[in-house]
Amino acid sequence: MSDGKKKMSRRCFLKASSIGIAGGVLSGPNTIVSASKSELLADVVCFNGNIVTLDAAGSMVDSVAVKDGKIMKVGRFADIRKLAGPATQVLDLNGKTVVPGLIDAHCHPMETVMMKDGWVDARYPACPSVKQALTNIAAWVEHTPKGKWVFVACVSASENKFLEKRLPTKSELDDVGPDNPIVVADGAHLAVVNSMALRMLGVIKGVGALKGGGRAILDKDGEPNGTLTDAMGAIPTTPTIADLERYYSSGIQDFWNRYGFTSIMAITPAAALPVLQAVSQKRKPDIRYTVSVWTDPDSEGMPENLEKFQFPSSAYPAFYRFGAIKAWVDGENDCRTGLMYERYKSHFDTDPPGDKGTLVTPFPRDEHFAQIANRNGVICMLHCSGDKAMDIGLDTYANEIKTRSRQTIMRIEHFGMFQMSDRQLKRASEMKKHGLLISAQPTWLLELVKADYENMGENLAKTGFRFRSMIDAGLEPAAGTDMTGIYLANIDPFSAIYACVTRNSDQGIFEPEEAITVTEALKMWTIWAAKSMGEEDVKGAIEQGKYADMTVLSDDIFKMPKEDLKNVKILKTIVGGKVVYEKK
């Protein structure tokens, strides 16, 4: 058929499907079938697209039929049009590239909306210095009642980025807010607080341990200097019930849908979960939640029986699922709390003693945590940032493999982002057949490589972000934004795809031999992400029987110059066949 005839056929299809045909449905160019067969017809037909299915065969199609929120059939327009009837909604994709709905395999959505909407903004580069950060904090304090907590968001490694090459000090925070407890978050794993915050947290001279595995850094006289590491279990940042209901009802899905996401692995504090469970009984959301619950960073408080974390039977099971639990083995290398074998090269007053990072969850407790996950049939997620922490994670899972009663997914979060040895890569590859999977955060290439060079030295820094090596070893890394509200730009998956393909970083072109293809980068956000959540049977590809989740792109990412990948926009986000976001 000529292009002109194809366009005419599609116009006729649109007209007939939109207004209906008395007594029947459109089945072919000139035939009518009985309306009694309507149960065999599609609810939605998407056509005229450049649809990348990511199925096993790598199929490309132009049309998709949707029934009851799932993909009924994929194929060519001539076949799919037969499934449209008077009630079928028809969506013209206008020739645009369509990919499986994007999946964020590691994020903190509640914290993201909380930080985005309710924290002082001291994020570099808009805030380039400690001086500007203190000005922003002072302006916020002016309108804050005495005694109320003030939270400040700085990007990771701000001490490397700020003009002064340091963070605000306790005394500086005392000066701008003596009557308010102030917390300046340098990323998610290190914070500086003022004297009032220390008092309210009960931090006293000579005692560095905090609830949940965090630490208060003490000076040479044993006095707390205002620095807290991995203190998210101790600092009371939980928003109000009304705030949480708003986040889970609209704020989270609106933010993630805008960037093409249809599913998220939502790492959720146990204290906030009851609100999400309540919301799940009231509405079907526009994004699919797979929830990973944490109690304390060091796993303290994780119950032996996880039944209370399940969603109510009245919740929509395709949209709400409890799937995992999470604990932190260490901190993070960007603030020198990631647990390493070697000493960090750079040193700041905010660093933990010993200059090798911090151990948050010791090995015996990691083992017990993995056993809890396995007994309850959920995914175990261990945050492992430094190379020593990665070995602890691998050792934990090696022991788990020997003793467990069934095979469940075991994940290492941030695997190889900051450093990874060939031995660790080989070991992880060998353990994959036993259920070991990894998550990665490729956007950090654009933000943290320069700090890695400064903090760890060139030799160690060059062992991070080795995506080509991971994929060649068969690891199928799942991509996640690790959104917390710290780096708001990290929500854009095409910045990450651009970084993976070009190897551009904030240090320039970084280890170009570790570049991967556009298809591989896309799989990190789709089918591999679905596998990491144990959901590859229902997500991650556009094929029959899976959820009808699709993302419509502004450009053909497979033909455009790779330097332009960072500019790709989301035109539509489709969840269960429903357009939940459309670019205006």
Query: Which of 229, 261, 279 is at the close of a domain?
Result: 229
* Residues whose CB falls within 8 Å of the CB of residue 136, separated by 6 or more in sequence, listed in order: 120, 121, 122, 127, 152
Query: Which of 210, 229, 248 is at the close of a domain?
Result: 229
Both tokens assigned to 158: 């701000």
Residue that is written with structure tokens 């151990």 in the block: 359
Q: Helices 363-375 & 387-403, crossing angle to 10 degrees?
A: 50
Q: Classify 73 as helix, strand or coil.
A: strand
Dist CA 416 CA 42 (whole Å)? 44
Per-residue pLDDT, 39:
72
Could you give the strand order of the β-sheet that contains 190-193, starting from the edge strand earlier in sequence?
A: 120-121, 150-154, 182-186, 190-193, 224-229, 215-218
Q: How many domains does the chain have?
A: 2
pLDDT, tens digit (0-9, with 9 covering 90-100), for 418-470: 999 999 999 999 999 999 999 999 999 999 999 999 999 999 999 999 999 99
* Residues whose CB falls within 8 Å of the CB of residue 329, separated by 6 or more in sequence, listed in order: 339, 359, 360, 361, 366, 382, 383, 384, 385, 389, 392, 393
Does residue 544 lie in a domain region? Answer: no
Does residue 55 lie in a domain region? Answer: yes
Verify that 214 and 133 share a domain, yes or no: yes
- Cβ(263)–Cβ(318) under 8 Å? no
Could you give the strand order of the β-sheet that contains 570-575, starting from the edge strand earlier in sequence?
A: 60-61, 50-52, 97-100, 550-553, 570-575, 578-582
Count of alpha carbons within 13 angstroms of residue 54, beta-carbon side: 29
* CATH number of residue 85's parent domain: 2.30.40.10
- DSSP string for 185-215: EETTSEEEE-HHHHHHHT--TT--B-GGG-E
Verify that 96 and 24 share a domain, yes or no: yes
Does residue 484 lie in a domain region? Answer: no
Burial 160-189 (b: 16+ CB within 10 A, else e): bbbeeeebbbbebbbebbeebbbbbbbbbb
Per-residue pLDDT, 24:
30
Determine the residue type at 62: D
Q: What's the domain range around 38?
A: 3-100+578-582
- Cβ(85)–Cβ(26) under 8 Å? yes
Per-residue pLDDT, 12:
40
* Residues whose CB falls within 8 Å of the CB of residue 320, separated by 6 or more in sequence, listed in order: 276, 280, 285, 288, 289, 291, 311
Verify that 14 and 64 share a domain, yes or no: yes
Does residue 551 lie in a domain region? Answer: no
Verify that 164 and 185 share a domain, yes or no: yes
Does residue 363 lie in a domain region? Answer: no
206 backbone φψ class: left, alpha, beta (φ>0; ψ -120 to 50): left
Does residue 197 lie in a domain region? Answer: yes
Verify that 77 and 163 share a domain, yes or no: no
Does residue 72 lie in a domain region? Answer: yes
Helices (H), 119-164: 130-141, 158-161
Does residue 359 lie in a domain region? Answer: no
Parts of the chain with a pLDDT under 50: 1-36
Report the 10 Å Cβ neighbour count for 191: 27
**C-alpha torsion angle, residues 485, 489, 490, 491 (rounded to 10):** 80
Dist CA 268 CA 327 (whole Å)? 12
* CATH number of residue 159's parent domain: 3.10.310.70
- Cβ(120)–Cβ(158) under 8 Å? no
Verify that 127 and 183 share a domain, yes or no: yes
Whole-model pTM?
A: 0.93
Verify that 131 and 89 share a domain, yes or no: no
Query: Which of 229, 244, 271 is at the close of a domain?
Result: 229
- Cβ(549)–Cβ(539) under 8 Å? yes
Per-residue pLDDT, 14:
47
Verify that 75 and 122 share a domain, yes or no: no
Dist CA 212 CA 235 (whole Å)? 10
